[in-house]
Structure 1
Amino acid sequence: MIKYSLRCRDGHRFESWFADADAYDALARAGHLSCAVCGVAKVEKSVMAPRIGTGATTSAGPEARIAPEGKSRPLATPSTPQEKALAELRSKVERESEYVGGEFARVARAIHEGDEPHRSVHGEAKLAEAKALLEDGVPIMPLPFASPRKTN
């Protein structure tokens, strides 16, 4: 595996992993690469330095990483504007709606049909359940993050 620092024609910078250099080249030639920020299809490798591990950890322990300023920070701390925006959205969703887990499709339908009190809910649904809700006019949308109950 190899990680490349990439840049789109609009100047957005992001990283992506590839099986090897040939895999990147093949995807680029086929036009299958796009900017992770704006979606533009014109993406190229940008200048990057290889990261060489020393085996040593910081005083904060192995759960920390080195921030660009040389200060260590926890892995879970958002560092880019996109990560910060996602963290704020997640916090707002969790604060202002009820988690209903795997019952999401049933609860969303019941709220839509007036069988349960109107409220904001979030949870998980199978693709077929989500499609059925949308086809029936139930206003739902996917969230751009996984439930914290489903992460390590």
Structure 2
Amino acid sequence: MIRYTLKCAQGHGFESWFQNAAAFDTLAAGGHVSCPECGSTEVEKSLMAPRVTTSEAARAAAATPEGERDRKIAELKAKVESEFDYVGSSFVAEARKMHEGETPHRGIYGEANPKEAFSLLEDGIPVAPLPFLPTRKAN
């Protein structure tokens, strides 16, 4: 993915993400990139500086409350994905089987819609949402 700073024919500046440079060129040529302020499809790339992060800047960012939170979420994600079984859309059924003693207890994670999750909680089955998207669902 690449982020471009763009400018329309009216001089309005804005940013947008594209899969790659060729994707921007194709979309812009077809009139599919438009200014969010005026709707003009006469859009061109503006001068922009590359985003470069030094290790010192990365350490400073990690020292912020947000950086610490992100580090802890990454640690949790690594632990869950290495020690628990991913059961995908079978999560609700697997959790119920374990609760009812049909299968051995083990750590699992997967998908459940809010209604299903509340139903599990109402039945005394402990579940909690994960603060990250599992790697298997990232595509």
* TM-score calculated relative to the size of structure 1: 0.51
Superposed CA offset, 1:107-127 (max 9, x none): 001001001111110011011
TM-score, normalising length from structure 2?
Answer: 0.56
| Shift, 1:102, TM fit | 0.7
Other-structure match for 2:48: 55
- Structure 2 residue corresponding to 1:98, chosen from 85, 89, 104: 85
| Structure 2: gaps of 5 or more residues | 1-13, 16-45
Change (3 A) 1:121 1:70: closer
Q: Give the number of the structure with larger relative contact order, counting CA–CA contacts within 8 Å between residues 6 or more apart.
A: 2
Seq. identity, %: 43
Opposite residue 111 of structure 1, the aligned amino acid is M
Shift of 1:82: 1.0
1:111 is aligned to 2:103: no
- Max Rg structure: 2
Aligned twin of 2:136: 149
Distance change >3 Å, CA 55–CA 122, structure 1 → 2: same
Alignment of 1:3-152 (within 5 A): 54-55=47-48, 57=50, 65-67=52-54, 69=56, 79=62, 80-152=67-139
Question: For the residues of structure 1 that align with 2:84 and 2:110, how far apart are their CA atoms?
Answer: 10
Shift of 1:69: 3.0
Partner secondary structure for residue 66 of structure 1: coil
Pair 110,70 (structure 1): closer, same or farther in 2 beyond 3 Å: closer
**Superposition deviation, residue 150 in structure 1:** 2.2
1-side partners of 2:130 and 2:48: how far apart? 37
Structure 1 gaps, min length 5? 3-52, 59-64, 72-77
- Higher relative helix content: 2
Aligned residues: CA RMSD: 3.1
| Counterpart residue type for residue 149 of structure 1 | R
Aligned-partner Cα distance in 2 for 1:116–1:133: 16
Q: What amino acid is aligned across from residue 111 of structure 2 in structure 1? A: E
